[in-house]
Amino acid sequence: MPDRRQNEEPATPDQIAEVRLSGMKFREGDPEKEILLAMAKQINEKHGRALEPQEKAAGKESAADQPAATTAAESEQKRELSPEQAEKTIKTLETRFQAEENKKLCPKLSWDKAEKALRVTPEALWSVDQMEQNGHEPGIYFSDKTGFEIGTLAKEAPSSTRNCVYDKRAEEWLKINSPQERFNGNAVDQARAMGIELKTIEQDKHIAGNTPAYNEQSWRWYKTQDNIRDSGYALTGFRVGSALSVYQCYADVHNADGGWGGSLRVNFVN
């Protein structure tokens, strides 16, 4: 990742906040404002640059988000739950699916149809269990004619995902250029290890639009396209009012307020 920190005139955190928060209406002490201020302060201290608003992302997925080559050891790892754990995972997922607060997410899908698909996809159940163990509170949030999506429904970024950079490139860059910093790995590899991917902006906007108080006190990394990632940035977002506000941010930024959410595709059984 190229170093763009040289020869830049740093702005103060207050200056960044003034520019980036202009036009946004906040009450004093609103968590959304505090999150953006915290991010702006860290970016300013490290880079001398502020968050860049990203209204609409377009382009292909980042190469960093593509699956890495699988080793022989990884291929031999059996990603399958015991019968007892599989039943427990299915029951937990059903309870969350039937919960009143989640009914708006996927109103046209019947649980019986989803369960049938899950029972013949042991790898998916393994991934759902991994998400459960790591605090994602996984649930079904979208369906179409061919399948459905299971993703992070935790209202704030899970604690297991906090303080991580975006991907391996950002992690390696940080280890070389700022070895004193302590962080929690990278989001892309953490998701991949669980057999899932980072959520897209569109996926999380759907959840945020149907879930009150979602993502109000934390920010998250989102799946980022090549044209953005190759410039040194990745996509981040958090809730502002009733909508998800999305920004471009240096991919090596990390703090205790930021994490990520994941998603898994499951196809229906014919």
Q: What is the pLDDT of residues 186-212, one digit of tens each?
A: 999 999 999 999 999 999 999 999 998
Nearest residue to 105 via CA among 146, 149, 56, 135: 149
pLDDT tens, position by position, 62-74: 554 554 444 334 4
Question: pLDDT at position 200, please?
Answer: 97
Which tokens hold the place of 172?
Answer: 């390696």
DSSP secondary structure letter of residue 225 = B
Ranges in the chain, pLDDT < 70: 1-77
Domain boundaries, the chain: 79-270
Task: Tell me the three-class secondary structure of 156-213, residue by residue.
Answer: CCCHHHCCCECCHHHHHHHHHHCCCCCCCCEHHHHHHHCCCEECCHHHHHHHHHHCCC
pLDDT of residue 241: 81
Instruction: Give the pLDDT score at 188.
Output: 98
Nearest CA among 122, 115, 196, 199 for reference residue 153: 199
Q: What is the pLDDT of residue 248?
A: 93
- Predicted local confidence at residue 82, as pLDDT: 96
For 47-99, the DSSP string reads: HS---EE-S---SPBPGGGSPPPPPHHHHHS-----HHHHHHHHHHHHHHHH-
Distance CA 104, CA 51 (A): 32
| pTM flag (> 0.85) | no
Supply the pLDDT for residue 7: 31
Supply the DSSP symbol for 104. Answer: T
CA distances to 111, 114, 202 from 77, rounded to whole Å, are 30, 26, 32
What is the C-alpha to C-alpha distance for residues 49 and 232, in angstroms, rounded to an integer? 12
Structure tokens at 176: 């070389």
